[in-house]
């Protein structure tokens, strides 16, 4: 029954949603200068103390995460090197589940589009990152490094079985996991502590 349900969702996304996404993305790509100018304005506003930090870090992390999978244009392999997990967990822990959901889903959408990896079963990743965004908001100060690693493992535990059920290559799934978890352990150990401190103080 689960397999039938997944196939129906994949078919609907493939035929009705993703073609519209590709059309909608074209005008956004043409506005790169406006996006860069907006980031500069946000930075100056933050320095002047007139803009909340969330208004700086949310778009900044979305942009960084969106481009973090661009290497897939050259390497057609499911590797786990990305900044979507970091951005989602930090924003959820710092600013709440709604912001985390926005950051996670927008980042994942643009990352998949920019790296040309968007496919009919990408909805599984959206399910996983949405759950991480909601659960990640439950951070209670036990250490953002350990929390981020836990959220990474939770994400993989959610998406890998679903991808396998939907017909993904087991070898590709294994390669993804053995690169995704170690990379995020490093990111949450080396980057997350100081970045989270800046975001919340």
| Cα within 13 Å of Cα(39), Cβ side | 14
Q: How far is CA 78 from the centre of its chain?
A: 15
3-state secondary structure the chain: CHHHHHHHHHHHHHHHHHHHHHHHHHHHHCCHHHHHHHHHHHHHHHHCCCCCHHHHHHHHHHHHHHHCCHHHHCCCCCCCCCCHHHHHHHHHHHHCHHHHHHHHHHHHHHHHHHCCCCCCCCHHHHHHHHHHHHHHCCCCCCCHHHHHHHHHHHHHHHHHHHHHHCCCCHHHHHHHHHHHHHHHHHHHHHCHHHHHHHHHC
Does residue 63 or residue 46 have the better pLDDT? 63
**What pLDDT does 174 receive?**
93
Q: Is 142 exposed, middle or buried (0-12, 13-18, 19+ CB in 10 A)?
A: exposed
pTM across the whole model: 0.78
For the chain, which residues make up each domain, given as ranges? 2-200
Alpha-carbon Rg of the chain, whole angstroms?
Answer: 17
Measured at the alpha carbon of residue 107, what is the angle toward residues 105 and 108, in degrees to the nearest 5? 65
Average pLDDT over all residues of the chain: 84
Residue-wise pLDDT for 97-119, tens only, equals 999 999 999 999 999 888 877 77
User: 184 near 80, Cβ under 8 Å?
Assistant: yes
Query: For 114-128, 137-151, 154-168, which range has the lowest pLDDT when averaged over its residues?
Result: 114-128
* Alpha-carbon span 64 to 96, nearest angstrom: 20
């Amino acid at each position: 029954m689960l397999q039938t349900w997944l196939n129906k969702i994949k078919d609907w996304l493939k035929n009705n949603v993703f073609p519209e996404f590709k059309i909608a993305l074209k005008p956004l790509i043409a506005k790169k200068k406006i996006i860069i100018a907006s980031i500069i304005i946000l930075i100056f506003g933050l320095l002047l103390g007139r803009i909340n930090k969330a208004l700086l870090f949310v778009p900044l992390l979305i942009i960084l995460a969106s481009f973090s999978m661009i290497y897939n244009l050259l390497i057609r392999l499911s590797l786990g090197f990305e900044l979507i997990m970091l951005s989602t967990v930090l924003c959820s822990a710092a600013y709440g589940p709604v912001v985390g959901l926005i950051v996670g889903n927008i980042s994942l959408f643009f990352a998949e589009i920019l790296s040309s990896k968007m496919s009919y079963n990408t909805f599984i990743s959206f399910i996983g990152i949405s759950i991480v965004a909601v659960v990640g908001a439950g951070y209670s100060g036990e250490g953002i490094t350990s929390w981020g690693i836990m959220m990474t493992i939770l994400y993989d535990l959610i998406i890998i079985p679903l991808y396998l059920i939907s017909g993904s290559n087991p070898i590709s799934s294994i390669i993804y996991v053995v690169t995704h978890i170690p990379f995020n352990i490093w990111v949450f150990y080396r980057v997350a502590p100081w970045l989270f401190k800046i975001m919340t103080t």
